[in-house]
């Protein structure tokens, strides 16, 4: 799957489910390699598209615009 399509799926997932752990996102994107999802999430965090909340095992992610209240 192309990275831009995977990022769109992750954005859509977070839009409907708000804060989600990486394991939750992985379970909802069945059939997509775990490594690809992880790379996309980390890239989106670096770009500021999604916001990580919490640390290590308790970390959740949400869309940046939801976090900013826009």
Tens digit of each residue's pLDDT (9 = 90 or more) over 39-66: 999 999 999 999 999 988 889 999 997 5
pLDDT class for 28, splitting at 50, 70, 90?
A: very high
CA distances from 9 to 41, 54, 56, 69 (A): 11, 23, 23, 21
For residue 21, give both structure tokens.
């752990």
pLDDT class for 67, splitting at 50, 70, 90?
A: low
Domain 3-68 grouped into CATH 1.10.10.10 = yes
pTM of the model: 0.85
Res 65: pLDDT:
76
């Amino acid at each position: 799957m192309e990275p831009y399509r995977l990022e769109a799926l992750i954005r859509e997932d977070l839009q409907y489910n708000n804060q989600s752990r990486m394991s939750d996102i992985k379970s909802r994107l069945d059939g997509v390699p775990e490594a690809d999802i992880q790379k996309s999430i980390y890239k989106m965090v670096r770009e500021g598209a999604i916001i990580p909340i919490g640390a290590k095992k308790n970390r959740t992610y949400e869309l940046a615009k939801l976090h900013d209240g826009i």
